[in-house]
Amino acid sequence: MDLFPDHPDAEKKRPLAARMRPVTLDEIAGQTHILGEGKLLRRAIEADRLDSLILYGPPGCGKTSLAEVIAKVTQREFARASGILGNVAELRKILETARDKRLRAGRETVLFIDEIHRFNKAQQDILLPYVEEGDVTLIGATTHNPFFFINSPLVSRSRVFQLEPIPPEEIVKLLKRSLEDERGLAAHAVRAEEKALEHLAAVCEGDARKALNALEVAVLTTPPQADGTIVIRREDAEESIQKKAVVYDKDEDEHYDTISAFIKSVRGSDPDAAIYWLAKMLVAGEDPRFIARRLIILASEDIGNADPRGLTIAVAAMQAVDFIGMPEAQLTLSQATTYLASAPKSNSATLAIGEAMGDVKSGKVLPVPRHLRDAHYAGAKKLGHTGYQYAHDGEHHFVDQEYAPTDKQYYKPSEQGYEQTIDKRLAFLDSLRKHPRRT
């Protein structure tokens, strides 16, 4: 007999996100790239042919929920440890218990370790023999790239699956289901405006836990109307999640107008305006990778060789954004935006490729000079592929020879930034030619 039975209201007092945890694969929001019909992970779960897994993704994307569903679907024991609170003795006890259940009762165990990247090397090494022997099916969850933060031997014995932030439309479906589900808020007579649910989905950054708990706060703190109905409006949603709605529709004019203003502000060398438009996009929930990609394009299109470091910084920003995610990625995007906005500008390289491609498309297709053709195969000399002079053998590492049968100058460096140095260099080399072609 249990001396201290659970209070009958204990389940109701759990947070909504905990009560609404999925119990089947079909209830998991998002992640269709790994759990859709016919996908490898879904097939492995349904066939009960699982290897150990590492689930890598941002908070609230469903890593814990997926681990629990896997244990239910495969009818395995579920044991849990934490990379923050766990220690070697506790971990070894869990592993030995799992081994004993497998050997004595034939019962397999899913061992879920949250924040596994926080385990030190010794703790991670303890797992290896139990994983290799099949005593546990390890499911590690981490918000950090496992290839950098988890021991290589453990990664090599596991399949790594990257979970994505849950799309807003999936969050809306989850919120609606929670209003109708007995585990959720069905006991309350709630009518939520579509815009209220869309706001929660837009600003939760793909975190279902954040959206569900904000909805619960809104329901429990909004006074009912005369008929007992609780109406959740957008202002209630804003208050419950502490983020005001920003007029910004990702599929309509405001999206395109804002990114246009952002790019034009960077191009126009106004870092303050650029930062404002960046802030608006981030607060509204714009994909930071979309912003980073646009900065890479701008670095080549509008800055070019006036400051070649601009492209390096933009590409590094893209990699950093993908690596660390939001909200920290806002710092990286701010750094890249202010640098590019402050950098000298030139579109000379952009004009050069545009003009050259125009000539090729209009039919001005030039033959490759014989001395530049491939001469590394037998018979090349018989075809006349001779006469090339190696540039490094010449004074100043330059040889005056024809590289294209045209005198047209496509690249015309500006007087901005580093292009002044480039222009002087090209002018010097042109002076060494018998027939200079620069104007």
Summary count for the chain: helices (H), strands (E): 19, 7
110-137: pLDDT as tens digits: 999 998 988 888 888 889 999 888 899 9
- How far is 158 from 254, CA to CA, in rounded Å? 44
pLDDT value for 253:
61
Domain end call among 217, 241, 265:
241
Query: Are 379 and 322 found together in one domain?
Result: no
Residue in the structure block whose two tokens are 């290799």: 132
- 306 and 217 part of one domain: no
Bond prior to 224 in cis (omega within 30° of 0): no
How many domains, in total, are found in the chain?
Answer: 4
**Cβ pair 87, 119 in contact under 8 A:** no
- Residue 265: the pLDDT is 93
Residue 1: pLDDT band with limits 50, 70, 90: very low
The predicted-structure confidence for 85-94, as pLDDT tens digits, reads as follows 767 888 889 9
Spatial strand order of the sheet with 158-162 comes to 77-82, 109-114, 137-142, 52-56, 158-162
Question: What distance in Å separates the CA atoms of residue 124 and residue 115, rounded to the nearest whole number?
Answer: 12
What does the alpha-carbon distance between residue 138 and residue 98 come to, in Å, rounded to a whole number? 11
pTM: 0.55
Tell me, yes or no, whether 268 and 196 share the same domain: no
Q: pLDDT tens, 228-262?
A: 899 999 888 888 887 555 555 555 567 788 899 99
* 193 and 263 inside one domain: no
Q: Looking at residue 223, what DSSP letter applies?
A: P
pLDDT tens digits, residue range 197-213? 998 988 887 888 889 99
Domain that includes residue 111, residue range: 31-162
52 with 88, same domain: the answer is yes
Q: Is the pLDDT of residue 10 over 80?
A: no
